[in-house]
Amino acid sequence: MRILVSGASIAGPVLAYWLVRHGFCVTVVERAPTLRKTGGHTVDLFRPAMNISEKMGVLPRIEERATGTNRMTVHQERARRPVRVDLSKIFNATSDRHVEIMRDDLSEIYYDAARDDVEYIFGDSITAISPDGEVRFENAAPRRFDLVVGADGLHSNVRRLTFGDESRFSAFIGAYLGVLTWPNLSGLDSELLIHVGVGRTVGTYGARHLGDARPCSCSGASASSTITTTTCPGRRSCCALRSTACTLTWTAGWTSSAAPRRSTSTRSPSSVWTPGHGGG
């Protein structure tokens, strides 16, 4: 049985691993030219996911690439003191098995687990799926498959081709989430720094093995808004965090006298924000 999986991030490679081990012939198509290793958010794995990863033989690699984040410092607008949280206690109360890892690291680990047994096609995408099993691609010649699986993310191409445009099924939930990558100028180590305001949250974190940090922000906005980010150097202090928070959410409606006077606008794929959606 020939199975085509669209998407080589996390779900696609994991599914491909298990399908191959049950005797199926699997092809994975990914629109990116190579495996994505350019940023991404953290992923928290708890007991069910860790048990599966252990059966796949990749748990040691996952634990080696853990972020090591075990504490969180929260700065609230107009609050005199930050709130410090021991994240290890929260994780232990949630599950007896847990690890946090960067999404791109996890994707690479799952990909490596079955790369020699799965046909991967990078730099291509599905353009049409026929009821008789014929699949057309942007670049490759048409092929026939017995099953097509969409593991291609929130804005799934397979789902769009099968059920119609996502605007018919998705609903804006009133918030934007954005993550980008920049140098770890604050020297973050095992800590998540967060600045919280009404309808706005911004934070930044790093990982033990990374030379960069991952600022992220969530803010309320209308569905028609387009939010872009700006970057600036930061320091490990409350004032610098407020400045960073103001910079990252510059066009999200925040105002502050601590805003940097100089900033460089970025419109790369990792720093342009799109509306968050629920359902689908």
Question: Does one domain contain both 15 and 154?
Answer: yes
Residue with tokens 């996502």: 166
Question: Does one domain contain both 153 and 264?
Answer: no
The CATH number assigned to the domain holding 91 equals 3.50.50.60
For residue range 167-223, list pLDDT tens digits in order.
888 888 887 777 878 788 778 888 898 888 887 788 888 877 777 888 777 776 554
Asked if 151 and 12 touch (Cβ cutoff 8 Å), the reply is yes
Asked if 36 and 104 touch (Cβ cutoff 8 Å), the reply is yes
Report the number of distinct structural domains present in the chain: 2
DSSP 140: S
**Mean pLDDT in consecutive groups of 10 residues from the start of the chain, 280 residues:** 97 98 98 83 93 98 93 89 92 89 94 98 98 97 98 93 90 80 80 84 82 77 44 37 45 38 33 36
Question: Does one domain contain both 153 and 180?
Answer: no
Beta strands in 49-168, from DSSP E residues, in sequence order: 71-76, 83-86, 98-102, 119-122, 126-129, 134-137, 143-144, 147-150
Q: How far apart are CA 139 and CA 84, in angstroms?
A: 52
Domain boundary, last residue among 115, 138, 166: 166
Range of the domain at 250: 171-278
Question: Does one domain contain both 229 and 124?
Answer: no
Question: Does one domain contain both 224 and 273?
Answer: yes
Question: Does one domain contain both 103 and 181?
Answer: no
Domain boundary, last residue among 149, 166, 183: 166
Question: Does one domain contain both 109 and 194?
Answer: no
The structure tokens listed for 133 are: 């099993």
Question: Does one domain contain both 11 and 136?
Answer: yes
